[in-house]
């Protein structure tokens, strides 16, 4: 690892100036500060670095995003797990933080959500290797994503195999690329197995709760529902109870896996699960490869979803499985 003296020599300043920059002290011009930080980054120096090979910025979305996307928190936890396992130093940052250039240095960026891509912080680090989780379709750099269309296909195929011919789908946020991929998966798989994919069988909920769109799908004659966002599982189940519909006796249901929650619902939901462990591991590996000068096998890596069978789906009478 480079020394303070070597950084000072490369930046053409004194060691005292380098110390002031690293400790975020006043009385250092922005021009000098930037010169020191560039020299430190070029020499791959990290203040107080111990056994960590690299130091990255782990960027979280705005605080108001996480409560509406609970899977995001789980995916972030998996990313942290893999960073620690690989002994990678990291600094947790949010959109409100200043650029990663003053009190610490980073060599790469791992974004935990495509929502991070528009924040000023990330924009100021565009020159660094950067990977985003679930960012395909909206993130300009490298991404690792769940195969949302394939996951929706699993749900439709499972319900069709249980004899369901009218399957309603409830999604969230029509502008979200994830929603668009899941909708495309529904339409494609419905076409493949000869099921209707009428507009009346698709609802997009942009606000809180799910009562109105679930009521619409029930009125459209759906015998099964796919709740295509993680937080819609509990909300959709509550809506069905309000409508006096029993799961699975009156209506079968598949939701998107919400770790630690879906299996505890009444009844436990059969779910489409994203492999957060694999996604986070691939994202960290991709970022470390970029830092080492490697070329990833693809700009956008895709991880298949899997079906977690529980107790919220029943076969219709006479259905062939």
Q: Show me where the domains of the chain are located.
A: 148-274
Cis peptide before 248 (omega within 30 of 0): yes
Q: Does position 99 have pLDDT exceeding 60, yes or no? A: no
Q: 26 to each of 8, 97, 102, 286, how far by Cα in Å?
A: 18, 19, 11, 37
Helix (H/G/I), strand (E/B), else coil: 271: strand
Per CATH, is 148-274 categorized as 3.40.50.10320?
Answer: no
Q: Flag the least confident range among 24-28, 164-168, 280-284.
A: 24-28
Q: Which residue has the higher pLDDT, 185 or 30?
A: 185
- 209: tokens are 């709760």
262 CB-near residues (< 8 Å, 6+ apart)? 233, 255, 268, 269, 271, 308, 310
Q: What pLDDT is recorded for position 204?
A: 93
pLDDT tier at 28 (50, 70, 90 boundaries)?
A: confident
Q: Model-level pTM?
A: 0.80
Of 120, 116, 121, the closest CA to residue 139 belongs to: 116
Residue whose structure tokens are 């999604």: 171
The enclosing H or E element of 215 equals helix 211-219
How large is the average pLDDT for residues 137-146?
86
* Axis-axis angle for helices 70-85, 276-291 (nearest 10): 50
How large is the average pLDDT for residues 211-235?
95
Q: Does position 184 have pLDDT exceeding 60, yes or no? A: yes
Helix (H/G/I), strand (E/B), else coil: 302: strand
| 224 and 249 Cβ atoms separated by less than 8 Å | no
What are the two backbone dihedrals, phi and then psi, of residue 219, each rounded to the nearest 5 degrees?
-65, -25
Sheet holding 130-133, edge to edge: 89-93, 55-59, 108-111, 130-133, 142-146, 300-303
């Amino acid at each position: 690892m480079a020394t303070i003296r070597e950084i000072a020599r490369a930046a053409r300043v004194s060691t005292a100036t380098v110390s002031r920059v690293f400790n975020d002290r006043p009385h250092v011009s922005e021009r000098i500060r930037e010169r020191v930080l560039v020299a430190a980054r070029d020499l791959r120096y990290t203040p107080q670095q111990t056994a960590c090979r690299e130091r990255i910025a782990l960027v979280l979305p705005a605080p108001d995003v996480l409560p509406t996307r609970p899977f995001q928190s789980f995916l972030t936890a998996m990313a942290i797990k893999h960073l620690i396992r690989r002994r990678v130093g990291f600094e947790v940052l949010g959109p409100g933080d200043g650029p990663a250039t003053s009190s610490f240095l980073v060599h790469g960026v791992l974004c935990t959500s495509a929502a991070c891509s528009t924040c000023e912080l990330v924009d100021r680090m565009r020159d660094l290797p950067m990977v985003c989780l679930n960012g395909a379709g909206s993130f300009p750099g490298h991404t690792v994503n769940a195969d949302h269309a394939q996951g929706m296909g699993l749900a439709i195929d499972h319900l069709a195999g249980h004899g369901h011919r009218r399957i309603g789908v409830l999604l969230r946020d029509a502008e979200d690329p994830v929603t668009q991929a899941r909708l495309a998966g529904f339409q494609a798989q419905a076409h493949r197995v000869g099921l209707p994919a009428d507009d009346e069988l698709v609802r997009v909920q942009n606000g809180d709760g799910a009562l109105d769109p679930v009521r619409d799908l029930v009125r459209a004659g759906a015998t099964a529902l796919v709740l295509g966002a993680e937080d819609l599982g509990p909300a959709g189940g509550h809506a069905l109870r309000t409508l006096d519909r029993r799961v699975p006796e009156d209506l079968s249901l598949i939701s998107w896996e919400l770790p630690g929650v879906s299996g505890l619902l009444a009844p436990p939901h059969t779910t489409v699960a994203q492999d957060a462990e694999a996604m986070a591991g691939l994202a960290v590996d991709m970022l470390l490869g970029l830092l080492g000068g490697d070329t990833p096998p693809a700009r956008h890596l895709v991880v298949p979803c899997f079906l977690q069978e529980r107790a919220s789906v029943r076969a219709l009478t006479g259905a062939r499985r």
